[in-house]
Amino acid sequence: MVEDKLYDYNEARITTAIEASDHLDAVRVRLAGLLGPSAPSPFTLTFAGLERHMGEAPTSFVVNAMDLGDALRVLAGLPSWREWYLDHGGTPDGQDADVVYLPQQSHPGLPTLGAYNDMRGEQESTETGSTLIRRAHPPAVTAPAPAPAPASPAARTIH
């Protein structure tokens, strides 16, 4: 008798949860439509070039983008990135390059530790159509912000 009621209770609970989830998803979609597209935010992309063979740490770059895919496209279009890529094992045609993208160290936000190459200024200059001065040295290295993002979305915890 109790098992029958427990089964009915669990079925009602699951059905209610599914209906609530569907409703919340509809509300989220409606709010997203009212608010319009979100603004680009910082994304960290990490690569290891030839320096990894000498035991050096990989290099992180920060650009503003909508998601990681967009961040990769933005970074690939920046002249300083192209210089770094060619200097660290990349090939002009992109084939057989010795530069490795590290997705496990790439994430939304700024790096949590160490230094990184902040490409947002160059990105802004490129997007506004300004003439860039080619540099013989790598982009400026910036210290991380005081409130960094977690290393990956899966590492986030709710408190």
pTM value > 0.85? no
Closest CA to 60 of 42, 76, 46, 77: 46
* Residue 52 contacts residue 100 (beta carbons within 8 Å): yes
Each residue of 69-112: pLDDT tens digit?
999 999 999 999 999 998 888 777 767 778 899 999 999 999 88
Higher per-residue confidence, 135 vs 16: 16
